[in-house]
Amino acid sequence: MLDFGLTGKNAIVCASSKGLGLGCAQALAKTGVNLVMCARGGELLEKVAAAIRSETGVTVKTVACDITSAQGREAVLAAAGHVDILVNNAGGPPPGDFRDWTRDDWIKALDANMLTAIELIKAVVDPMIDQRFGRIVNITSGSVKSPIPQLGLSNGARSGLTGFVGGIARQVARHNVTINGLLPGQFNTDRIEGLIDNTARQQNKSPEDVRAELEARNPSGRLGHIDEFGFACAFICSAQSGYLVGQNILVDGGSFNSNG
């Protein structure tokens, strides 16, 4: 039997009422990890948390909040108390033309996809060092390796987080605290649905055609499932993954054409 060595550990999984965050929460719960989950919408959050509790028996606390706000982060950290695992995630910035983006648009993107993760890392990393165990996973995007033209706000903010993390991951690794990026390609979530609709409008095509093109372009011939993303997250968090440090791991069906 494969044991991830995580039974009884405590995780914060940000932005996890659906999509990739939910996939990570579900997978960690299956390895015996107790969860603090958050999202702005409390109703769906509580519904998915109840399903995880009844399926796995782990303790799941929910915090309905905006994780990009200081109050939201404080509420999540207070609910968690002791933290062994932190999965950073938040909604992605909108697509668009860089000529239209104001300073406020940039600050919002940086807050959501860079500074929120940095603030949470800052809050948990020293206690993780003291306890000689910590796993931090930043959900970023395949755009870190292969920028997506219309998602410039996302490309910029996530690259900033990746650069910062690359440095500190190597400062904390000797304490069995790892920090890695998990980079989604295209997964079947509400977020991708919105991007498909946007492309369909721009290219005057039906959303079904745009989706079929995306699937056909991917070497796996399909979009990813959140379970597959969650499993990769649980693997990075496993007790055995202490030597996996400062990496940016793509889960994209082979879409990024590279050997490394």
* Contact by Cβ (8 Å): 159, 114: no
State the binding string over 144-183 for ligand NAP (x if CB under 6 A, else -): ----------x-----------------------------
Q: Which of 191, 200, 235, 244 binds ligand NAP (CB under 6 A)?
A: 191
> β-strand 85-88 against 134-139: which pairing, if any?
parallel
- As measured in angstroms, the least distance from the Cβ of 85 to ligand NAP is 17
Residue 30's closest CA among 46, 14, 7?
Answer: 7
108 binds ligand NAP (CB under 6 A): no
Nearer to ligand NAP, 112 or 172 (CB): 112
State the binding string over 57-76 for ligand NAP (x if CB under 6 A, else -): ---------xxx--------
Residue 58's closest CA among 7, 20, 96?
Answer: 7
* Contact by Cβ (8 Å): 21, 13: yes
Span of 24-32, 51-59, 86-94, 167-175 interacting with ligand NAP by CB under 6 A: 86-94
205 binds ligand NAP (CB under 6 A): no
Nearer to ligand NAP, 21 or 152 (CB): 21
| Residue 108, token pair as written in the block | 């919002």
- Which of positions 18-37 make contact with ligand NAP (CB under 6 A)? 18-21
- As measured in angstroms, the least distance from the Cβ of 238 to ligand NAP is 22
- The DSSP symbol for 137 reads E
Query: What does the alpha-carbon distance between residue 97 and residue 116 come to, in Å, rounded to a whole number?
Result: 24
Residue 151, SS3 per DSSP? helix
Buried b (16+ CB within 10 A) or exposed e, 220-235: eeebbebeebbbbbbb
Half-sphere exposure of 209 (CA within 13 A, CB side): 9
**Residues binding ligand NAP: what is the number (CB under 6 A)?**
29
110 binds ligand NAP (CB under 6 A): no
Query: What does the alpha-carbon distance between residue 233 and residue 143 come to, in Å, rounded to a whole number?
Result: 18
- As measured in angstroms, the least distance from the Cβ of 257 to ligand NAP is 17
Q: Which residues lie near ligand NAP (CB under 6 A)?
A: 15-21, 38-41, 66-68, 89-92, 139, 141-142, 154, 184, 186-187, 189-192
